[in-house]
Amino acid sequence: NAGVMQNPRHLVRRRGQEARLRCSPMKGHSHVYWYRQLPEEGLKFMVYLQKENIIDESGMPKERFSAEFPKEGPSILRIQQVVRGDSAAYFCASSLNPGLLTDTQYFGPGTRLTVL
Amino acid sequence: AQRVTQPEKLLSVFKGAPVELKCNYSYSGSPELFWYVQYSRQRLQLLLRHISRESIKGFTADLNKGETSFHLKKPFAQEEDSAMYYCALGSNAGNMLTFGGGTRLMVKP
């Protein structure tokens, strides 16, 4: 089991471009979480998705950000018209069953987005 | 609102010394607390959770509801313990983690 995969690992965009970040959960996991880490800060929750559904997007900025987790393929975090303030590390995590007290979120290596 | 505070950004100790990484939380419900660790060039991984009451790599953490704390302790630090440590609080549904700002532990030889 390769664990949670994220690509690309590094992404450079100019202001106004779009950024697409991909996350493949661990095998058998259907719950995906996205977190953002700004420089010198902790990880902040953005969105929680289950296959084909957004369950909790309370941490997502209202504009320019969207996320999906289709029936087939990876989860995608999309940032439109990027600005310098979007520069951060974006982490994806997956878990098997959040309803269980023993459930664990397994993290990917992150995508470091730099906006020029 | 949920909040996790790790007051120390950096903690430096000598090998063999005791270590305590502080974590305080704010939460109105029954908390689920975790410690995650990130070693150099590795991904974030779960170290321990309060509900398990276990010791991992010599580390323990006790939930103190009166002081709203979940400090991470180890009696004798090792050089391989050097890493970033994050305290995290789970929501009622367990699907959202609120992280503290992290503490970098440096264990000197």
Pairwise CA distance, residues A21 & A8, whole Å: 7
pLDDT at B93: 59
Residue A100 contacts by C-beta under 8 Å, 6 or more apart in sequence? Answer: B94
Closest Cβ opposite residue A42 in set B95, B96, B102: B102
Contact yes or no for B97 and A59 at CB 8 A: no
In angstroms, the separation between the Cα of residue B103 and the nearest Cα of chain A is 10
- Given a cut of 90, is residue B52 above it in pLDDT? no
Exposed, middle or buried, B89 (CB in 10 Å: 0-12/13-18/19+)?
Answer: buried
- Given a cut of 80, is residue B59 above it in pLDDT? yes
Mean pLDDT throughout B77-99? 88
pLDDT at B18: 97
Quickly state the pLDDT bin for B56 (edges 50, 70, 90). Answer: confident
pLDDT at B54: 81
Mean pLDDT throughout B64-68? 91
Contact yes or no for B4 and A56 at CB 8 A: no
A60 and A48 in contact (C-beta within 8 Å)?
A: no
Per-residue pLDDT of chain A in tens (116 residues, 90 and over written 9): 679 999 999 999 999 999 999 999 999 999 999 999 998 888 999 999 998 899 999 999 999 999 999 999 999 999 999 999 999 999 999 999 887 777 889 999 999 999 99
A2 and A22 in contact (C-beta within 8 Å)?
A: no
Closest Cβ opposite residue B99 in set A4, A42, A103: A42
Average pLDDT over chain B, rounded to an integer: 92
Pairwise CA distance, residues A41 & A89, whole Å: 10
Q: What is the pLDDT of residues B9-25, one digit of tens each?
A: 999 999 999 999 999 99
pLDDT at B55: 83
Beta pairing partners, B46:
B36
pLDDT at B53: 77
Cβ atoms within 10 Å, residue B40: 7
Pairwise CA distance, residues B45 & B69, whole Å: 21
- Given a cut of 60, is residue B78 above it in pLDDT? yes
Beta pairing partners, A107:
A93
Beta pairing partners, A106:
A94
- Cβ-based contacts of A55 with chain B (< 8 Å): 95
pLDDT at B9: 94
Quickly state the pLDDT bin for B92 (edges 50, 70, 90). Answer: low
- Given a cut of 90, is residue B105 above it in pLDDT? yes
pLDDT at A37: 94
